[in-house]
Amino acid sequence: MTTRFCSHCRFGNSDTARFCANCGAPMSDPGDDATITIDQAGAALASGSIFAGRYLIIEELGRGGMGQVYRAIDKLINDEIALKLIRPEIAADERTLERFGRELKIARKIVHKNVGRMHDLAEDRGSHFITMEYVPGQDLKGLMRQTGRLTVSKAIALTKQICEGLGEAHSLGIVHRDLKPGNIMIDREGNARIMDFGIALTAAGEKAGDAGRWVGTPAYMSPEQLEGLDVDRRADIYAVGILLFEMLTGRRPYVGETPASVALKQKSEAPPDPQTLNPEIPPPLARVILRCLERGPNKRFPDAEALRAELDRVETGLTAEGRPAGAIPPGHAKAKARKKLILPAAAALALLAVATAILILLGGRGAIESIAVLPFETSALGGADTVYLSEGVTEGVISRLTLLPSLKKVIALSSVFRYKGKTVDPQTVGRELGVDAVLVNRVSRRADEVSLIVELIRVRDGSRLWGSHYPYRAADVFTVQEQIVSSITEGLRLNLTGEERRRMVRNYTENYEAFYAYTQGRYFWNKRTAEDIQKAITHFERAVQLDPNYALAYAGLSYAYCVLPDYVNVPPNTAYAKAKENALRALQIDPKLAQARIALAQLHRRYDWDWAAAEAEYKLALEYDPNDALAHHWYGYDLMNMARYEEGIKEIRRARELDPFSLVINRNLGQALFRAKRYDEALTVLRDTLRTAPSFGYLHFYIGEVYLNTGRFQEALQEFQAEKALLKSWAPRIDVWIGITYFKLGQRDKTREILDGLLEMRKEGFVPPTLLAILYFTLGRNDEGFRMLDEACDEHDSEIRQLRTDPAFDSIRSDPRYPAILKRAGLDV
């Protein structure tokens, strides 16, 4: 499916849309803009759109003097890249583009672990862009903004890595000329990567005097650059000195109101001694910085290797804490106090005694790596049925804990909620769920006050790691969630980034009524019946009416509409269009909301039939929330449908680790094992799940599939009939497999009767054409079967996802029409 941008708001819409789903403006004729590119150079690219027919836009990473930078998937090679969209006024100069081309040709020669790779300069319909390696993490500018300044040891380590990358470039005769914090990425392992070799320049040429413009960023430029003289590798050494100065002091050596005033100081004033700004800087390191900042190039370090060697010598004289051996840090107490002042407000609310206890108990051996949160007691709040609120508060704490990088496993809501209202032993629960600790709670009443007592219990020995009281009223539910998670964060000694902290304490709504409506929607969504999914939609819609910026509620609506055709007799096109509209609305509000990314992945798979885009969204969701069981589950299920069985089984098993008692995850693990022809394992999983929940949907069905494909036809028929007896709602899939089994048993008339019955049903409402195709193929009526598959593509029938792997299609795999249908359904990857 192609996408067109709205000419008014640049929102990405389907190629059949008559009005923009974002702003409601009329769309131009599809023939005028049928592919996904931009017709206005410099326009913003929408998340989820396709640029230049090749690049799936995931999110905007930032903006600068050159233009906008996006994270994208190159669909041609299925790899993540960074895409820099060049500002129109820069791209308009042909000499500039020629220069970029020459610079990139040279820069591509640099291959080093501390340098981001450059790829290509390209153009699409008047928009020029550069592609380069995407480095997950944050730039040095953002890191310094969050921390104020870095420790001595961290600053030295990063600077040495910058020197290594520069050394490789300099050996090839390449000078960066625009080193600055925004061009240094810190990857997830904490390593420095130099970015933008060959493109972080203006159109001025080699000398600043050309056209009267500077090449670089004045605050980080050497005096010879500012004077328009020739530059060599020592200009980069000067910039490294400023970077190191800024990392250690929290400010640049030269500060002014304008770039011109900064440049004047660079050329006329000696830099300040960094020790006067940070007494913890060792004298040898201060001398290194000042040598880098010498005005005369000949007085600086001759190259990056010499600078790195000197940093090695300085480092040798430091202790592990980043100070000279035996030195007393004069500013240590003040620095510690400053660090406390910048903690988020929610963390400050946590009781000091709680945080201290956790620090003592969790800091040593036996660190907590997995947690289960038992359902929160909400009956004390009174009012309406508080089971919804209990689920909402519990999920709120769980969803925050899943973002903690040190926790490898946080048990999902559906598995812990089985303990709701029961008197349980935390150690027993912890062992059942396979976790290190269990978060338990109880309500305490004293006079008119109601308090929530929360405790963290170690499973290994039953010890109480910490506990605290929280005021407990309906209006306090948001604060309580923040306080609990902040306490755990402090206890695990997590060095979270500013962005991680913000997401940890974020409330997606401050409207209690909207929150309550959302919790009701989640409650019914988790029940997974036709009636309950429709109820969930009603409650989610109520939530977004009460708070139009409630991203989680939009994601919930998207989930519900996404699975609606699986349970209710509605055309997929209608449901999926609504699902996509709500997923994109959620991402407009919060581009890093994992739940919305999961929903969009499903829609790329079910609606757009774009597997590369779907996989990219799943990976992005798991990057934002690696402990999300639903992301692992749905990703694994779709991997199964792409015949990537072992990968799919691995993902679904990971989902089961996070949500061990989820019936749907266990059931679909059995289905994935069946598709991989691991029949005995499949039967074991399915039978075990059936013993746990004898009436849960489709367990008999999948057991029947195993029997059908291992020649046990009579047993298969019994299982399918047992399934039909359990399901009270519309279930044509069961009828189809009963028809297949009758055919295997030689009762072909019954197969034809079932087909005729489904065709009659089709006159009254939607019947998945894929299911009708299966019966046609079973009866050897292949022409009619392929006609049905064409209709399935037209109607976006979700059942067609099974086309590549379901044994029901084995009879047509050699038909020359089969590959064309696979391709049309996006299953030929």
Q: Cβ(535)–Cβ(524) under 8 Å?
A: yes
Decide if pLDDT at 717 tops 90. yes
Q: What is the pLDDT of residue 330?
A: 39
Helix (H, G, I), strand (E, B) or coil at 131: strand
- Between CA 266 and CA 275 the distance in angstroms is 19
Class of domain 137-316: mainly alpha
Identical fold at 343-507 and 543-824? no
Strand partners, 409: 370
% of the chain with per-residue pLDDT over 90: 33
CB atoms within 10 A of CB 316: 8
pLDDT at 473: 54
Q: Is the model's pLDDT at 569 over the cut of 80?
A: no
Query: Closest Cα to residue 529, out of 568, 556, 562?
Result: 568
Identified catalytic residue from 178, 590, 608, 659? 178
- 50: helix, strand or coil: strand
Q: Is the pLDDT score of 649 beyond 80?
A: yes
Please state the rounded mean pLDDT for residues 449-464. Answer: 77
Q: Measured at the alpha carbon of residue 163, what is the angle toward residues 158 and 165, in degrees to the nearest 5?
A: 95
CATH class of 543-824: mainly alpha
Distance CA 528, CA 129 (A): 46
Residue 392 pLDDT class (50, 70, 90 cuts): low
Stretch among 226-230, 643-647, 727-731 having the lowest mean pLDDT: 727-731
Least confident of 505-519, 669-683, 755-769: 505-519
Asked if pLDDT for residue 673 goes beyond 90, the answer is yes
Provide the pLDDT confidence category of residue 137 given band limits of 50, 70 and 90: confident
**pLDDT band for position 304 (cuts 50, 70, 90):** very high
Q: Is the pLDDT of residue 331 over 60?
A: no
| Residues 677-703 pLDDT 10s | 999 999 999 999 999 888 888 999 999
pTM, rounded to two decimals: 0.57
Read off the pLDDT band of 323 (50, 70, 90): very low
Residue 385: the pLDDT is: 45
124 belongs to the catalytic site: no
Q: Per mean pLDDT, which of 21-30, 415-424, 429-438 is the most reliable?
A: 429-438
C-alpha to C-alpha distance for 145 and 704, rounded to whole angstroms: 59
Confidence grade of residue 87 (pLDDT, cut at 50, 70, 90): confident
Highest mean pLDDT among 92-101, 287-296, 456-465, 524-533: 287-296
What's the pLDDT at 93?
76
pLDDT score of 308 more than 80: yes
- pLDDT given at position 357: 36
Does the pLDDT at position 346 exceed 90?
Answer: no
CATH class of residue range 343-507: alpha beta
pLDDT at 742 over 90: yes
The answer on pLDDT for 327 being more than 50 is no
For residues 504-516, give the mean pLDDT. 72
What's the confidence (pLDDT) of residue 240?
96
pLDDT at position 354 is 35
Q: What is the mean pLDDT of residues 319-347?
A: 37
Nearest 5°: phi and psi at 722?
-65, -40
Q: Looking at the DSSP assignment, which residues form a beta bridge with residue 147?
A: none
CATH of domain 36-133: 3.30.200.20
Going by pLDDT thresholds of 50, 70 and 90, the confidence category of residue 499 is low
Task: Say if residue 530's pLDDT is above 60.
Answer: yes
* Spatial contact of 65 and 196, defined as CB atoms under 8 Å apart: no
- Per-residue pLDDT band at 475 (split at 50, 70, 90): very low
pLDDT at 91: 78
Mean of pLDDT values over 576-583: 91
Q: Which residue has the higher pLDDT, 676 or 146?
A: 676
Q: What is the mean pLDDT of the chain?
A: 79
Element at 410 (helix H, strand E): strand 409-410
Which of the two residues, 533 and 327, has the higher pLDDT score? 533
Could you give the strand order of the β-sheet that contains 79-86, starting from the edge strand earlier in sequence? 50-51, 55-63, 67-74, 79-86, 127-133, 118-124
Classified as helix, coil or strand, 286 is: helix
Tokens of 488: 């755990």
Q: How many CA atoms lie within 13 A of 672 on its CB side?
A: 27
The strand pair at 184-187 and 464-471 is best described as: unpaired
What mean pLDDT is predicted for residues 469-490?
Answer: 55
Residue-range domain boundaries for the chain: 1-35, 36-133, 137-316, 343-507, 543-824
Phi/psi for 371 (5° steps) reads -140, 145
Which pLDDT band, with edges at 50, 70 and 90, does 486 fall under? low
